[in-house]
A and B are shown apart, each in its own frame.
Chain A
Amino acid sequence: MTKDTPAPILIDNLVLAYGQHRVLDGLSLQVPAGSITALLGGNGAGKSTTLAALLGFVRAQSGTVLVAGVDPGMDPDAARRRIAYLPENVALYEHLTAAENADYLLALSEERKERRIITDAFAAAGLQERAWDQRLGGFSKGMRQKVAIAVALLREVPVLLLDEPTSGLDPRATVDFNALVAAVRDRGTAVLMVTHDLLSAADVADRIGFLEAGRIVEEVAASGPERFDVRALHARFAVAAERLAA
C-alpha cells in the first residue's frame, strides 16, 4: 500500500441519530494504512457507535463511511471481510481449545490457515506453547486476548478495530499487547482503537482524536510540533470528560 491510495478507514461528515438524539454529529476521520489512531472520549461520546458504523451494524443518516473502499451500510459482509475486530471483552468458546477457536473464527471469516501458521501467530502473539491445545476455560483475559489478536493477525485484513483493548489488563500485559498492535500496524494495517486508557493510547497511537458529542473536537499527532505530552493530554481529556458529565 502506498501513501497515494485512499485511507482504509474513511469517515466523512457522518451523522447518525437514534430518534431525536444525534449520536454522531458530523464525524470525520481518516486512518491511513500502516497507522494507529486512538479515539478518546467519555461515555456517550459516540466511540462505540463509530465502530458499529464501520462494522455495518448501524446505518448513518448522512455522510460517508468507507472501509477499504467499501460502504458497510450497503454491503456489511464485504466490509466485515476487510475488518478484524476485537471487542472490549474477548469472549471465545470455552469448550474449544485455543487452536480450535482460531480455526473456527477464521472459518467464519472465510479463511483457512494451516496449523503451523496458526501456531506461528500464537507464538507471535506471545501465547505459550502449552496453551495452544488447551481449552479456553481456564485462560486469563490476557491469554484470551492473545488468541484473538493472533486471529486478527492471521486475517491479513487492511483494517483492525479495537474496542477498549487494554481495560482489565495488567501493566505487563498492556505493554505486550501494545507491542503486538504496533507489529500489526507495521504490516500496513490501519488500526483504530477506542479507549479510555490515555497512557496506552499515548504509548502506541500515531494520532489521537478526542471525540465529544459525536464529533472530533481535537486531533493530535505523534510526530511534528504536536508531539504527545501525556500530562497535557491528560488534562485535556479530563476537561472533556467533565464537560460531558455536566
Chain B
Amino acid sequence: MTLWKHELRLLLRGRLSTVALALLAVLSVAALAAGMAEVSRQRAAIAAIPAAQAEDIAAVADYVDRTKDAGSAAYYSFHPTWDAPSPLAFAALGMRDVSPYILRVRALGLEAQIYDGDTFNPELALPGRFDFAFVLVFLAPLFVIALFHDQVSGEREAGRLRTLTALPRGGSGLMRRRTLVRLALLWAVLAVPFTFAAIVSGVGIGAILLILAVIAAYLSFWIGLAALIGRLRWSSVANAATLAACWLVLVLIVPTLAHVAINRAVPVDQGAEIALAQRERVNHAWDIPREETMRRFYANHPRWAASAPLGPEFHYKWYLAFHQNGDESVAGQVRAYRAGLERRDAAARALGWVLPSVGVQALLTRLAATDLTAQLAYQDRIRDFHRRLRDFYYAYLFNDRPFGKEDFARAPVFGR
C-alpha cells in the first residue's frame, strides 16, 4: 500500500502531471456543465410547448367553431411532437443541435413536413459541441500522451532507470504501478465529475457503470499505445511526437477519410427527390377526377369506404385523402432513403469496432439516444402520432360529424 502512496506523491509533485490532471478535471467539469445547461435549455423549450400550443389552438378553435368543419380543424391545427432528451443526453449531445427535437405536424401530407428542421446557427454547429464525449474522445488521449510519453524514457534520460531497476521493487512492477496510478487518476478526473452529473441527471446505474468502464477502456487503449511506442526505446521527444501523430491520425484523419468513403459508397440523394415527387402526386389530384382519388384512397383504407359520395362542393375528406395518397405513393422512396441513412450509420458503427475514437463516440451517442438511430426513432414516433391524427380527423370527416370547440381537446396528444 505504501508503495502506491509513494507513487501518488511522486506523480502529484510533478508540475506537468498536476497541471495536466487539474486541467482535464476542469475541462470535464466544464463540458458536463455545458452539456447539462444545453439539455436543460432543451427541456425548457419542450416544457414551453403546452402554453404556446394552447394559445395557438384556442385561436384555431375560435375560428373553426363557426363552421364546425372538421377539415378546417385538421388543416389549421398544428400538433406538437417532441423528442425529450434522455437522462444521459448531457454527456453526448450528438445530433440534437442540428436535428429538430420539436416538430409540429398537421394531418396533411407527412412527407412534406417530417424533414423540416428547427432554427439553429450553422456556424455554431460546424465545429461540433463541447460536451463530455468530446473531452473523452478528443482531449483525454492528449492527456494520456502528456502523462505517459516519458514513463520509461524519462527515467532513462534522467539517468535513474539503472538505479530503479536495481531495486527489488523497481523493475517492471514499478512501471505497472505507475501506469495504474496514472490511469486511476486520469480515470477519476473524468469519471468522478461524470458520475456526479449522471446521478444528478437520473441516469440508470447500468449505463453509468458501462460508461465508467468505457472511459477506463478508452484510456487503456491510449496507454497501451503509449507503452507500445515506449518499447521502441526512442527518446521522450520522439515518443511524444509519434503519439501526437497517432492521435491526429486516429481521431481526426481516419474518421474524416471514412466519412468521405462512406458517403461515397452509400449515396443518399433521394431526400429532395422524395419532396419533389410527393408534391407532384399531391397536386396532381387537382387535375384528375376526384372520384379517382377517392377510389384509390378507399382501396387502401376500406374502413372509410362507406362514407357518403362527394358532392360538387369542396370537401376536406378529398383534400386529406389525396395528401395521404401522395404520402403513400412515395413510400418506397422513403424506405430506400431511410435504408441509405441506416447503411451509412451502420458503416460508421462498424468502423467503431476497429477505431476506438469512433467506437466510443458511437457508443456514447447511442446510450444517450442522440445519434441518427435515435433521430430515426423520433421520426417513427412522429409517423405513429401522425397516423393517430389522421384517424382522429377522418372519424369526423368521413362520417360528416361536426367538429366543435370541445373536440379540440379530444385530439391525440403526442407521447400519450
Contacts and interface: CB of A to CB of B under 8 A. Distances in A.
A contacts B directly (C-beta below 8 A):
yes
Interface of A: 55, 57, 76-78, 80-81, 83, 85, 87, 89-93, 95-96, 100, 103-105, 107-110, 112, 148, 161
Contacts of A161: 166
A110 B6 contact: no
B14 A107 contact: no
The 7 A-B residue pairs with the shortest CB-CB distance, nearest first, are: A91-B159, A85-B166, A108-B167, A80-B168, A81-B168, A91-B160, A108-B170
Interface string B141-175: 00000000000000000111011111111110010
Interface string B12-37: 01110000000000000000000000
5 contacts: A77-B169, A93-B13, A108-B168, A109-B168, A112-B2
B168 A95 contact: no
B3 interface: yes
Nearest to A112: B2
A67 to B, nearest CB: 12
Contacts of A103: 6
B276 interface: no
Contacts of A83: 166
B13 A107 contact: no
Contact of B169 (A87, A93, A107): A107
Interface residues of B, number: 22
B10 interface: yes
Contact of A87 (B2, B14, B162, B168): B162
Contacts of A104: 6, 9-10
Interface of B: 2-3, 6, 9-10, 13-15, 158-160, 162-171, 174
Residues of B contacting A: mostly: helix
A109 B167 contact: yes
Given A85-B166, A91-B158, A108 B174 contact: yes
B58 to A, nearest CB: 71
A217 B169 CA distance: 36
A112 B2 CA distance: 9
Which of B3, B15, B162, B174 neighbours the largest number of chain A CB atoms within 10 Å of its CB? B162
Contacts of A77: 168-169, 171
